[in-house]
Structure 1
Amino acid sequence: MFSRKRGGPKHVRPTDAPPSEALQQSMAASDEPARPDRGPWDAQHAPGDVQRLDLGSLQIPAVEGVEVRVQANPDGAIEQVVLVDGESALQLGVFAAPRTEGIWDEVRTEIAEAMRGDGVAPRELDGPYGTELAARVNTPEGPADVRFVGVDGPRWMVRALFQGAAASDPSREGRLGEVLTGLVVVRDNEARPVREALPLRLPKEMTEQAEQQEDQTNGSRPV
């Protein structure tokens, strides 16, 4: 599922942090860094036998039962990616970062400060990717649990926001956790400002489907 809307992507704010395991692999002295134990993968280490949805800078593994929803502007540039599995959702973002420094620690600190400014009490958790941030926030639909996970890679950072059951209980990540572990980041060679959102675009087949739906909608309108 996808929708088109106007407006640019929201970027994370300025940050800087120590390297994660994935980033440490990229900083190895060897010309060929060792392959990490798990993803999110940099494109150079990604397993080749997995079917994925190609969104440009981010490739999402196909996991049965997980619904992928994207919002794109009229030019086909994706502004939001959300995966849904039952009572849980996972929102994904991928951003430019320095090659030798991670940015998740300070991104997390700034998210926590923003939450406190809104009267929310965030708490830190230890997870498989390091320190996570969890909180119960107010939404138009009522109080809701959220959990932020960050993964630093070579010149990129993945920010994952769990909502629903997977946020209140990390053991219920299930298939959404499988998706996060199987993500592939394709970082281009362009010099980009740190924390700039990496470009995401609709696959050709989804663009064509959107155009067909718009044509059908316009054709069904009374003259």
Structure 2
Amino acid sequence: MFGRRRREESPVPAEEFARTEEPRGTTGGPARGSGPWDAADAYPERERVDLGGLRLPVDQGFEVQLNLAGEQIVGAVILFEESALQIHAFAAPKRSGIWDEVRAELAAGVKAAGGTAEEKEGPFGVELDARVPADGVAQPVRYIGVDGPRWFLRAVVSGRAATDAGVAETLEDVVRDIVVVRGDEPMVPKEPIELRLPPEARQAMEQQAEAPNGRDLRPFERGPEIAEIR
């Protein structure tokens, strides 16, 4: 379905996702103080969209889009208040995080593109505060990274939330409520954790695509972003 659209991202209104009440985790090591959560954590209950490798909190007023690599879903974008929150989850080594390495790669990429990047302390630890050239204008972008047990979560905040603390807080709360489902299969570090579309949402999108007078599924005009980690 996504291949026929030839679009990198396909938007899905939040209300079209099937929502499920999440159980509390009961296994794993010591409890984490806050999210994003590992699937084995005793995380707080709330409604989340089950995307397989991610359980994504979505509230009214959000629009959700999916990042595709071919036919594979590799990330999600939440649009809210003239802002975008891009979420990608990757495999990581068992005994060490990769955010320090990834952050250096991102900073180098921003500077090579003619932008600026500096580290600062944020709500999830050290993050990257960048200005990335786009259409001749330096756009503010925040790169947030969280190292989990054998996974790494990257969040990219752009648009109004990159400078508006009130809007940013809403999107930061989304990051705090994400649950990452790494799985037990062996994966190469930095390999994207594969996601899947809930059956109900896939059916709704197919019906919209087939409807002659269906509403236009406008692709998200992506803000400044560095290329995917490979």
- Report the TM-score range of the alignment, normalised by the length of the smaller protein: 0.7 to 0.9
**Equivalent residue for 2:199?**
204
Distance 1:92 1:47 in 2: 19
Q: 1:63 aligns with which of 59, 63, 81?
A: 59
* Matches of 1:69 and 1:210, distance apart in 2: 12
CA distance in 2, matches of 1:114, 1:189: 32
The residue aligned with 1:54 is: 50
Aligned positions of 1:118-157 closer than 5 A:
118-140=113-135, 142-157=137-152
What TM-score do the two structures reach when normalised by structure 1? 0.78
CA distance in 2, matches of 1:138, 1:145: 9
Which residue identity lines up with residue 101 of structure 2 in the other structure? E
Q: Cα 1:121–1:71, aligned 2, differ >3 Å: closer, same or farther? A: closer
Q: Distance in 2 between matches of 1:171 and 1:215?
A: 39
Distance in 2 (CA, whole Å) between partners of 1:8 and 1:103 is 26
* Alignment match, 1:38: 34
Q: CA deviation digits over 1:31-82, x for unaligned, max 9?
A: 952111110000011535211011110111133332222244774x324411
| Alpha-carbon separation, structure 2, partners of 1:187 and 1:165 | 31
The Cα of 1:142 is off from its aligned counterpart by 3.7
Match of 1:101 among 86, 96, 103: 96
8 A contact 1:63–1:179 mirrored in 2: no
**CA-to-aligned-CA distance 1:149-196 (integer Å, 9 cap, x gap):** 000000100000000222124554122111000000001111010000
* More helix per residue: 1
Describe the superposition over 1:55-110 as per-residue Cα deviations: whole angstroms up to 9, x where unpaired.
110111133332222244774x3244111110221001000001110000110001
Change (3 A) 1:202 1:104: same
Q: TM-score, normalised by structure 2?
A: 0.76
CA RMSD of aligned residues (A): 2.7
Q: Distance in 1 between matches of 2:161 and 2:175?
A: 12
Q: Identity across aligned pairs (percent)?
A: 40
Q: Which runs of 5+ in 2 are unaligned?
A: 10-26, 215-230
Decide which structure has the larger Cα Rg and report it: 1
Q: Give the match's secondary structure for 2:196.
A: coil
